Chain A
Amino acid sequence: MNPTATLTDTDFKVADLSLAEFGRKEITLAEHEMPGLMAIRREYADAQPLRGARITGSLHMTIQTAVLIETLTALGAEVRWCSCNIFSTQDHAAAAVAVGPDGSPENPRGVPVYAWKGETLEEYWWCTEQVMRWPESEADPTHPAGPNMILDDGGDATLLVHKGTEYEKAGAVPDPAGAESEELAVILSLLQRSLAEDPQRWTKIGQGIKGVSEETTTGVHRLYQMV
C-alpha cells in the first residue's frame, strides 16, 4: 500500500471518521472477494504505471469502491473521490478511505473523500467540485489545480468540466431560474459562482485531462452525445 495523497486537516468531508475501523474490516473482507483488483495490484506493484496520475473519481463511495481507490493509489496514483449519487455512499467506507490504512481518525492519512449518505443536491455538486479542484501547492506554484484523469460513473464529473468550459467560453452562465430541473439549476448556480471566482477555472481543468473511463451505460450514452 502506497497512498501518495496526504490529507490536510480539512481536505475531506465524510459523515463520521469514527466509522473508519468498521469500514476497514469490511474493506479487508472485500479484498478477498475482489481477486481481479488484487491481482492487478500484484502485477503492477513494481511498475507503478499510475505514478503521476491525478485521478478524480465520481463513483458510489462503497466498500467495493474503497478497494478500487486503494488499488489506484497502490499503482502510484493520487486520488480525490466523491459519490455519483446522493444516497449511495456507505459512511463507514468513506471514513475508512479518508483515514487510510496507515492513519487514524485523529490523524487521517488517506485519500481526500467528499461523500456521505443523504447529501442535498447542493452538497452533491459541491462535493463534485471539491474533488475536481486539486489543492494548490505553496511549495510548487506550477502544481496543477485539476486532475489529469477522470474515473466517472454516469458522467457527472465529465459534465461539470464540459458545462463549465462551455459557459466560460460564452462568458456567461444561463439563469438557473430558467432551468428545466432542480438539479440543473443547482449546477448552473455553482457555475455562476465559479465563473465570478475564476473565469478560466474549468477551461484550465479540462485542458489538463488526458482521459476519462466511464462505469455505466448511461454515462457512455452521454459521452457519445458529447462527441
Chain B
Amino acid sequence: MAVICGFGDVGKGCAESLRGQGARVVITEIDPICALQAAMQGYEIRTLEEVLDSGDIFITTTGNRDIITAEHMERMKHQAIVGNFGHFDNEIDIAGLSHIAGIERVNIKPQVDKWVFPDGHAIILLSEGRLLNLGNATGHPSFVMSSSFSNQTIAQIELFTKNDEYEKKVYVLPKHLDEKVARLHLDALGVKLTRLTDEQAAYIGVPVDGPYKSDHYRY
C-alpha cells in the first residue's frame, strides 16, 4: 500500500504512476476539491495517522512543511519506505528523526538510508527527504522536459528583449506562447490537429489560430 500526501499536480502524477505499478494507493488531502477528484478516480482518502501502521510506501507531494513528523515515522511498520516528491526537504522532519534518543542511521547506498529505532524496527528514507525522483533516479523523460524548458527559453527571450514592457511583478507566460510550445511537440507524436471553421471560431468567440481558452480555464 502506497500513501501519497497531497493530490495536487505532483500527487496526481505520483498516484497514477504507483497505481500503474500495481500499488494500492491511499491519498491524504486538506483540500475538499482535490479530495473529491481523488475519490472520483477511485482512490481511498484517509488521514496519515489512520494509515501509519498499514502503509508500505509514504510519499510527500504537498509543497508544505511538517507533513511527516518523527513521531509518524516511529509508528510506521518495519522497513516502510519514506520519500519526498516536493521541491524542498521540509516535508519530512529529518532533523526530528535524527534527534530521537538511540536512533541509528545505516547508509545502504547513496541516497538510501535505513533509520533504526531503539526498539529495533526501521524505516528506509530516500534522498534524506529531498526530491526523490532526481536523487534516486534520473528525473523526467527528455520529451516532457522539452515542453517545460521551451517555456523557460521563451520566457528568457521575452523578458530580455521586451524588458520595458513588463513591470516588477510576477507574470504567467501568455497562453499563445503555451500553445506554441505545445504545437512544437505534436509532430513527434504523430498528432494531426483539427481546424476550426470561421463559423465555429465565431460561435465560441476565439480566433481560428488561437488562443483557444480563457485564462481561467483548467486543462
A221 & B156 in contact (Cβ 8 Å cutoff): no
Task: Report the number of A-B residue pairs with Cβ-Cβ less than 8 Å.
Answer: 139
Kindly state the interface size class of chain B when it binds its partner. 35 or more
Residues of A within 8 A of B134 (CB): 60, 62, 85, 87-88
Residues of B within 8 A of A165 (CB): none
Residues of A within 8 A of B184 (CB): 35-36, 39-40
Q: Interface readout for B175-207 with A: 1 if CB under 8 Å, 0 if not?
A: 000000100110110000000000000000000
Q: Point out the residue from A35, A118, A217 that lies within 8 Å of B188, measured CB to CB.
A: A35
Which one of A14-22, A47-55, A132-140, A189-197 is at the interface?
A47-55
Residues of B within 8 A of A122 (CB): none
Residues of A within 8 A of B63 (CB): 217-218, 221
Alpha-carbon distance between A132 and B175 when the two chains are bound, in angstroms: 31
Q: What residue of chain B has the Cβ atom nearest to residue A87's Cβ?
A: B135
B143 & A34 in contact (Cβ 8 Å cutoff): yes
Residues of A within 8 A of B188 (CB): 33, 35
Alpha-carbon distance between A210 and B185 when the two chains are bound, in angstroms: 29
Q: What residue of chain B has the Cβ atom nearest to residue A221's Cβ?
A: B63
Q: Confirm or deny: B131 has a beta carbon within 8 angstroms of a beta carbon on chain A.
A: yes
Q: How far does the Cβ of B112 sit from chain A's closest Cβ, in whole Å?
A: 11
Q: Confirm or deny: A166 has a beta carbon within 8 angstroms of a beta carbon on chain B.
A: no
B87 & A154 in contact (Cβ 8 Å cutoff): yes
Of residues 146 through 182 on chain A, the ones whose CB sits less than 8 Å from some CB of chain B are 148-149, 151, 153-154, 181-182
A-B contact pairs, 29 of them (CB 8 A): A29-B142, A33-B141, A34-B143, A35-B146, A35-B188, A36-B149, A37-B149, A40-B153, A50-B156, A50-B160, A60-B134, A62-B145, A64-B139, A65-B149, A67-B146, A71-B149, A85-B135, A88-B139, A148-B160, A154-B87, A181-B95, A210-B159, A211-B166, A212-B159, A213-B156, A215-B152, A218-B88, A219-B87, A227-B168
Kindly state the interface size class of chain A when it binds its partner. 35 or more
- Residues on A facing B (Cβ under 8 Å): 29-30, 33-37, 39-40, 44, 49-50, 52-53, 55, 60, 62-65, 67-68, 71-72, 75, 77, 85-88, 90, 117-118, 148-149, 151, 153-154, 181-182, 210-213, 215-221, 223-224, 227
A211 & B149 in contact (Cβ 8 Å cutoff): no
- Assuming the contacts A210-B160, A216-B87, asked whether A64 and B130 have C-beta atoms less than 8 A apart, the reply is no
A87 & B130 in contact (Cβ 8 Å cutoff): yes
- Assuming the contacts A33-B143, A210-B163, asked whether A86 and B130 have C-beta atoms less than 8 A apart, the reply is yes
Q: How far does the Cβ of B60 sit from chain A's closest Cβ, in whole Å?
A: 13
A53 & B156 in contact (Cβ 8 Å cutoff): yes
A37 & B150 in contact (Cβ 8 Å cutoff): yes
A68 & B152 in contact (Cβ 8 Å cutoff): yes
Q: Confirm or deny: B155 has a beta carbon within 8 angstroms of a beta carbon on chain A.
A: yes
